[in-house]
Amino acid sequence: MLLGAVSLSLLCIFSWSCSSRHATFGSTTLVDESAADASDPQITAALKVINEQPQSDKGYLQLAALYIRRARETGDFNINRKAMSAVDQALEREPGSIAARKLKFSLLATFHRFGEARDMAAELRDQYPDDPYAYGILTDANVELGDYDAALQAAQKMIDLKPNSSAYARVGHLRSLYGNHSGAIEMMTLAARTADPRDKEAQSWCLVTMGKEFFKAGEFEKAEKVFDEALQISPGYGLALVEKARVRAALGDYQVAADYLSRSQLRFPSPESLILSGDLYAIQGKKEEAEEKYREAEEVARGLEGDLHRFALLWADHDTRLEESLELAKNDYAINKDIYAADILAWCLYKNGRLSEAQLAIDQAMRLNTNDARILYHAGMISKAMGDGKNARRLLTLSLQTNPGFDLLQVGNARAALANL
């Protein structure tokens, strides 16, 4: 019923998490003497407000919002530390500020502190039960924590209160999680088309999200078209450059993919872009260059004080540091019991030879029937190792049918495993 509803209220039950697993917050300087800060007229204006009204929260709120936007534009989520410092300064001056509280729990989610974000959002919801923003954060946090029933309830309330771009994006993501690709695209399209036309970053971000859904379904041409549209709106947009490179790489156009990654890394060498660069080298047999890119990605992630769960997957894929990868995956799943944490845990258990535990974990990863080729691949390999050739053949075939380019390197392993069954 929920997947096939006909009214707007029922159609929009599903949610999307805009948070990213990046960094745990630490102390930081509020404003760096960087060229980017000095040349940004909006930041200069916010600093002027702070200097003229030092006891007001107004300038600090402006500054925090600007840093949050810059973090999304560049992919450098380390900038959000400065945003958090600005928010804390605002709350010192106005402890009851609703705007500052909203920014605070949004940043907590960005820093992977989903439990805290959920609790703060719940407090706001209890005080202001008709504020849709609180329900959005409750949706996001509960998705990441694996409490999908609570996420559905929060998303339904949000869409009832205010059906807008933010709500549509959340709808699209939860539809995707539940395996409803066409429904996800429908809502992601609405999100992109109803985004504030003055906010180019928001428009581009919505388009990138839609393009990633197309890519997930193996619809490379549609994905690339959407990424190109995002880059037309926001040239140099880091997230779009990386995803454009991913499509080109999946199509075998390695040089063009590398060019797009180089462009993204000029703005900020994100761990994800560096890992993809490493994969490009690896598939061309350039092992030393690949290993250098992977090391650089890890250094950047550690410099961000970032959560390294992505490296648990990388190490398991490359059959290296297997015990460490399993420890990372276990720690992540202890906090965030979403399907992707369960998938990485299952893969690391499999690589460490703990097959019965891997099967239990992959069952958790597949509990929403998410149409994700990587999860299906992992499930197929675990079934193969468990001696269930029939199920392994079914899962590996489905994985490659869903997205024949889900991973630049693992696709070859999937095909080889299938051929040996």
Structural domain boundaries, residue 323: 307-419
Q: How confident is the model at residue 309 (pLDDT cuts 50, 70, 90)?
A: confident
The arithmetic mean of pLDDT across residues 242-246, rounded, is: 98
Tokens of 313: 């997957």
Please check whether residue 402 lies inside any domain of the structure: yes
Q: How confident is the model at residue 1 (pLDDT cuts 50, 70, 90)?
A: very low
Residue 387 sits in a domain whose CATH number is 1.25.40.10
Which tens digit of pLDDT belongs to each residue from 280-296? Answer: 999 999 999 999 999 99
Q: How confident is the model at residue 106 (pLDDT cuts 50, 70, 90)?
A: confident
CA–CA separation, 140 and 192 (whole Å): 18
Please check whether residue 133 lies inside any domain of the structure: no
Taking CA atoms, 85 is separated from 26, 90, 107, 158, 244, in Å, by: 9, 9, 11, 29, 33
Return the pLDDT at 11: 29
The mean pLDDT value of the chain amounts to 89
Q: Residue 199: helix, strand or coil by DSSP?
A: coil
Residue 154: pLDDT over 90: yes
Which tens digit of pLDDT belongs to each residue from 164-198? Answer: 999 999 999 999 999 999 999 999 999 999 999 99
**Cβ atoms within 10 Å, residue 404:** 14
**Tokens 């994100």 correspond to what residue?**
270
CA–CA separation, 29 and 393 (whole Å): 54
Please check whether residue 171 lies inside any domain of the structure: no
Taking CA atoms, 216 is separated from 176, 257, 323, in Å, by: 10, 18, 29
Please check whether residue 163 lies inside any domain of the structure: no
Tokens of 252: 């075998």
What lies within 8 Å, CB to CB, of 195 at 6+ separation is 165, 202, 203, 206
CA–CA separation, 419 and 421 (whole Å): 6
Specify whether the CB–CB gap between 148 and 177 falls below 8 A. Answer: yes
Tokens of 140: 């996001």
CA–CA separation, 168 and 365 (whole Å): 24
24-28, 72-76, 370-374: which is most confident: 370-374
Residue 31: pLDDT over 70: no
Tokens of 39: 């040349």
CA–CA separation, 407 and 278 (whole Å): 12
Tokens of 246: 């991913």
Taking CA atoms, 43 is separated from 50, 68, 90, 357, 402, in Å, by: 11, 12, 16, 51, 45
Amino acid code (one letter) for 70: R
Tokens of 188: 């992601």
297 phi and psi, to 5 degrees?
A: -60, -45
For 20-85, the DSSP string reads ---B------SS---HHHHH-HHHHHHHHHHHH-TT-SHHHHHHHHHHHHHHHHHS-TTHHHHHHH
- Domain count of the fold of the chain: 1
Q: How confident is the model at residue 64 (pLDDT cuts 50, 70, 90)?
A: very high
Specify whether the CB–CB gap between 320 and 300 falls below 8 A. Answer: no
What is the pTM (predicted TM-score) of this model? 0.88
Residue 127: pLDDT over 50: yes
Taking CA atoms, 365 is separated from 189, 344, 399, in Å, by: 27, 9, 14
The sign of the dihedral angle between the CA atoms of 68, 201, 308, 294 is negative
Please check whether residue 21 lies inside any domain of the structure: no
Q: CA-based diameter of the chain, in Å? A: 72
Please check whether residue 383 lies inside any domain of the structure: yes
Please check whether residue 368 lies inside any domain of the structure: yes
Q: How confident is the model at residue 72 (pLDDT cuts 50, 70, 90)?
A: confident
Please check whether residue 323 lies inside any domain of the structure: yes
- Comparing CA positions, the residue from 366, 338, 346, 372 lying closest to residue 114 is 338
Return the pLDDT at 20: 38
Helix residue ranges, H only, 217-367 = 220-233, 238-250, 254-267, 271-283, 287-303, 309-317, 322-335, 339-351, 355-365
Q: How confident is the model at residue 343 (pLDDT cuts 50, 70, 90)?
A: very high
The arithmetic mean of pLDDT across residues 298-312, rounded, is: 79
